[in-house]
């Protein structure tokens, strides 16, 4: 039984590209977003979020636009409803404050701290934690960049994770990623990730990709190959814990303008995967998005993705849809 929420690999790999061409630097940004997720394990998640950010996010927008020495900060609030068949609904809330600072052209840092709660009304299945995150971005040369990140959070953004006694699990995650661009049309990306869970389990994940820019500018089209390895220290009955999971495949991702106010994005991934001693399986994903500039300072964005993975006679799938309104002030 495949019990994994598998993020669309192409979207994760090209996050740094997706917002690379924003022409102006807003002094403040208001985001309102709703996201809907469901999978073949009868899990569904609804999330509604609001955030205010003073200045741009240096990890998603072209960070050279941010002035050296500027301090950025933000406030983020989110409500979640998590449903699974034959179980009571979970309701969650997050509130956190964030900060970021660009020290110079080589070093930027960002962090957040707040509180996360999730409960289904039964005392045993209720948990509240202090959530936090810290991220650093170091540009070693014009071609090489390193990002390091450490965070703690409840895991219902990925799945409804409970231990074998029905208690909710939180996790601490550390990762480091390397981005190398030896040529304007070539990107090499790799990351290693370690996660420590509150039920004394742990997981390690390693991923890598080689991408070629068919059109590296705007509009851009990137295609390439990717690989991933995931392993858990302990096998658990209550959530998916492969001793050894491997995946490799090909991907393509693109973004292009339709007119002065509308741009579209599309991506696809096909992979072969293997879990422990089970026969190899096949997976695929497709994604699409639209970014509509309603007014000079107002954007409406929509993103959707479908994913399916098959091993022998077992098939696992998910779909995800998000809609956001972004308002900028200058």
For the chain, the three-class secondary structure string (H helix, E strand, C coil) is CCCCCCCCHHHHHCHHHHCCCCCCCCCEEEEEEEEEEEECCCEEEEEEEEEEEECCCCCCCCHHHCCCCCEEEEEEEEEEEEEECCCCCEEEEEEEEEEEEECCCCEEEEEEEEEEEEECCCHHHEEEEEEEEEEEEEECCCCEEEEEEEEEEECCCCCCCECCCCCECEEEEEEEEEEEEEECCEEEEEEEEEEEECCCCEEEEEEEEEEEEEECCCCEEEEEEEEEEEEECCCCCCCCCCCCEEEEEEEEEEEEECCCCEEEEEEEEEEEEEECCCCCEEEEEEEEEEEEEEECCEEEEEEEEEEEEEECCEEEEEEEEEEEEEEEEC
| Whole-number pLDDT of residue 8 | 30
Cα-flanking dihedrals φ and ψ of residue 161, to 5°? -100, 115
Q: Is residue 29 part of a domain?
A: yes
Q: What is the mean pLDDT of residues 269-285?
A: 91
Q: Is residue 2 part of a domain?
A: no
How far apart are alpha carbons 178 and 157 in whole angstroms? 25
* Domain total in the chain: 1
Q: What is the mean pLDDT of residues 251-260?
A: 93
Q: Is residue 35 part of a domain?
A: yes
Q: Tokens 């006679």 label which residue?
A: 313
Structure tokens at 172: 């601490």
pLDDT for 7 beyond 60: no
Structure tokens at 261: 């106010």
Q: What's the CATH code of the domain at 115?
A: 2.40.160.40
pLDDT for 169 beyond 70: yes
8 A C-beta contact, residue 153 and residue 174: no
CB-based contacts of 142, cutoff 8 Å, min separation 6: none
| Whole-number pLDDT of residue 271 | 94
| Whole-number pLDDT of residue 26 | 61
How far apart are alpha carbons 269 and 250 in whole angstroms? 6
Q: What is the mean pLDDT of residues 83-93?
A: 80
How far apart are alpha carbons 109 and 324 in whole angstroms? 26
8 A C-beta contact, residue 156 and residue 80: yes
**Nearest Cα to 308, choosing from 274, 277, 270, 276?**
270
Q: Is residue 255 part of a domain?
A: yes
Its domain, for residue 221, covers 9-329
10-35 per-position pLDDT tens digit:
333 443 343 334 445 566 789 999 99
Q: Is residue 266 part of a domain?
A: yes
Q: Is residue 66 part of a domain?
A: yes
Q: Among the ranges 15-19, 39-43, 82-86, 165-169, which has the highest mean pLDDT value?
A: 39-43
Q: What is the mean pLDDT of residues 281-306?
A: 94
pLDDT for 197 beyond 50: yes
How far apart are alpha carbons 15 and 35 in whole angstroms? 18
Structure tokens at 125: 């299945």
Q: Is residue 169 part of a domain?
A: yes
Q: What is the mean pLDDT of residues 193-212?
A: 94
240 or 181: which carries more pLDDT confidence? 181
| Whole-number pLDDT of residue 209 | 96
8 A C-beta contact, residue 138 and residue 107: yes
**Burial call 222-246: b when 16+ CB within 10 Å, e when fewer:** bbbebbbebbbeeebebbbbbeebb
Q: What is the mean pLDDT of residues 172-185?
A: 95
pLDDT for 102 beyond 80: yes
Q: Is residue 171 part of a domain?
A: yes
């Amino acid at each position: 039984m495949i019990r994994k929420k598998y993020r669309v690999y192409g979207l994760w790999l090209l996050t740094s590209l997706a917002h690379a061409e924003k022409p102006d630097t807003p002094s403040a940004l208001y985001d309102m977003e709703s996201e809907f997720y469901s999978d073949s394990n009868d899990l569904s998640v609804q999330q509604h979020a609001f955030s205010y950010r003073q200045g741009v996010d240096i990890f998603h927008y072209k960070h050279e636009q941010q002035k050296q020495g500027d301090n950025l900060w933000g406030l983020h609030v989110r409500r979640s409803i998590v449903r699974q068949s034959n179980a009571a609904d979970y309701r969650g809330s997050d509130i956190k404050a964030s900060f970021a600072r660009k020290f110079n052209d080589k070093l930027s840092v960002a962090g957040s701290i707040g509180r996360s709660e999730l409960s289904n009304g039964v005392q045993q299945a209720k948990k509240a934690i202090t959530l936090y995150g810290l991220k650093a971005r170091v540009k070693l040369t014009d071609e090489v960049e390193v990002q390091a990140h450490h965070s703690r959070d409840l895991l219902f953004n990925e799945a409804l994770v409970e231990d074998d006694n029905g208690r909710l699990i939180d996790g601490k995650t550390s990762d480091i990623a390397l981005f190398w661009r030896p040529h304007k049309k070539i990107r090499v990306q790799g990351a290693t990730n370690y996660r420590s869970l509150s039920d004394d389990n742990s997981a390690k994940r390693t991923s890598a990709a080689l991408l070629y820019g068919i059109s590296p500018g705007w509009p851009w089209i990137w295609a390439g190959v990717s690989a991933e390895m995931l392993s858990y220290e302990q096998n658990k009955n209550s959530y998916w814990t492969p001793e050894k999971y491997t995946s490799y495949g090909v991907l393509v991702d693109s973004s292009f303008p339709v007119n002065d106010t509308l741009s579209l994005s599309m991506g696809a991934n096909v992979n072969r995967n293997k879990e422990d001693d089970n026969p190899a399986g096949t997976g695929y994903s497709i994604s699409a998005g639209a970014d509509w500039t309603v007014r000079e300072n107002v954007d409406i964005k929509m993103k959707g993705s479908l994913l399916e993975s098959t091993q022998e006679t077992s098939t696992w799938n998910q779909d995800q849809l998000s809609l956001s309104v972004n308002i900028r002030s200058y």
